Amino acid sequence: MTYRSGIVLLLTLFLFACGGGGASTQTPPTPNTPAPSNPGNGGTPDTLYPDYNTTPQPADMTGMEKDAQQIAADIRLGWNIGNTMEATGGETAWGNPEVSAALIKLVKDSGFNAIRIPLAWDQYADQDNAKIDDAWLDRVHEVVQMCIDENLYVLVNIHWDGGWLENNVTTEQQDNVNAKQRAFWQQIATKLRDFDQKLLFASANEPAVEDAEQMEVLLTYHQTFVDAVRETGGKNAYRTLVVQGPTTDIEKTNDLWTHMPVDTITNRLMAEVHFYTPYQFTLMREDESWGAQFYFWGEAYHSDTQPERNATFGDETLLKEQFALMKVQFVDMGIPVILGEFSAMRRTNLTGDDLQRHLDSRAYYHQYVVEAALRNGLLPFYWDNGSLDALNSGIFNRQQNAVFDQQTLDALLAGEQAAP
């Protein structure tokens, strides 16, 4: 979750504030060697930063037998380590402790089988040559290993990261962004190359795109990502990669998305969108001139005493319609979809009956999102920002490595169990 235009300013306030598939019995073809990138074809200027693909390896399929659809069949419920390794200023800068093996075990034992790790990179890189600090690469490797040790799927991305990509999906910045995208992913992919198919890479987070021209620019960033990862070889020649829709918004993705990146191997790509609808219920922290906060979602949970706080749009019907769009556009075409973020803030600033109605409504929302997502082939990852205060979304007390919000955890698990 980051700082998108319009709603983005409000979203930043929230900051302080994924059936089993068997391994393939067929041997995939050896990937082709990707063609050199070039600025005019979604590539990068090769001279802006050094070439960090200094130790390419032959393609290695060991532990990489599952394709994207088989991996998608494995992922049932995912969790975000939010506001931590993407935090501006360092891992603990936004109030969460360093990620520990005990936390990862708690997440696994609580019923999740996938973890998304939002990550910053640019603040750890030399701005002259885009060289990522070795100590940070080591730390990321360490946290990924914690997840792999618990037999979890892991999704590693470039998150908001100061907005160098996310806020610059423009023709003016296209070459510069592609150059850094290539340099960063060559280094990330090389460092994490030996992990098996449990590790997935994601190109970006919420790239700000509003029109067809920007969409074409974004597709070059995704193509650069795919090319940079594949050229490092080894297990990365077969790794499942995830590309984000415009602003990871479902309607924009349905309207603007034209094609997946060209890959050197078939069936190893996924798409990603996020879901925070309706905004007044999930993220809005105070009333505005254009509208009021919603406390109660789902008709069965509407209030008779505070009808102005009932969600008047974004109900169950809209939710199912939105997820069905992604099913038709991607899932039915053989492209799995990651629902990389969703959650509704916990309004514990309310009191009495209003508080209980809100909490029950919020639990219903989370259960409904998970079940509807899975029924449409979307893989849900709950956004947990770590905060236990009002107007936040933490499930786990990360200081004590204990469950804090049992009601939300139970709702997520109930949604997963209700889906086929």
Instruction: Give the CATH number for residue 344.
Output: 3.20.20.80
Q: H/E element holding 183?
A: helix 174-191
Within-domain flag for 259: yes
Residues paired with residue 153 on neighbouring β-strands, in sequence order? 114
Of 150, 272, 341, 416, the active-site residue reads 341
Within-domain flag for 84: yes
Rounded Cα gap, residues 348 and 358, in angstroms: 9
Within-domain flag for 88: yes
**pLDDT tens track for 212-265:** 999 999 999 999 999 999 999 999 999 999 999 999 999 999 999 999 999 999
Determine the residue type at 286. E
pLDDT band with cut points at 50, 70 and 90 for residue 10: very low
Q: What is the mean pLDDT of residues 378-402?
A: 98
13: pLDDT strictly greater than 60 = no
Rounded Cα gap, residues 79 and 199, in angstroms: 14
pLDDT band with cut points at 50, 70 and 90 for residue 8: very low
Within-domain flag for 38: no
Give the 3-state secondary structure of residue 343: coil
Within-domain flag for 218: yes
For the chain, the 3-state helix, strand and coil shares in percent, each to the nearest 5, are 40, 15, 45
Q: What is the mean pLDDT of residues 149-153?
A: 98
Of 206, 231, 272, 416, the active-site residue reads 206
| Domain total of the chain | 1
Q: Is 150 a catalytic residue?
A: no
Within-domain flag for 15: yes
Rounded Cα gap, residues 186 and 189, in angstroms: 5
pLDDT at position 23 is 35
Within-domain flag for 1: no
Within-domain flag for 13: yes
Q: Which residues fall within 8 angstroms of residue 127, CB to CB, at 6 or more apart?
A: none
Rounded Cα gap, residues 171 and 383, in angstroms: 31
Q: What range does the domain containing 194 cover?
A: 8-20+63-418
134: pLDDT strictly greater than 80 = yes
- What separation in angstroms does the CA of 393 have from each of 129, 283, 407? 37, 10, 12
Q: Which residues fall within 8 angstroms of residue 205, CB to CB, at 6 or more apart?
A: 2, 118, 157, 158, 159, 160, 161, 166, 244, 248, 340
- Pairing between β-strand 396-397 and β-strand 402-403 as defined by DSSP bridges: antiparallel
pTM for this prediction? 0.91
Q: Is 206 a catalytic residue?
A: yes
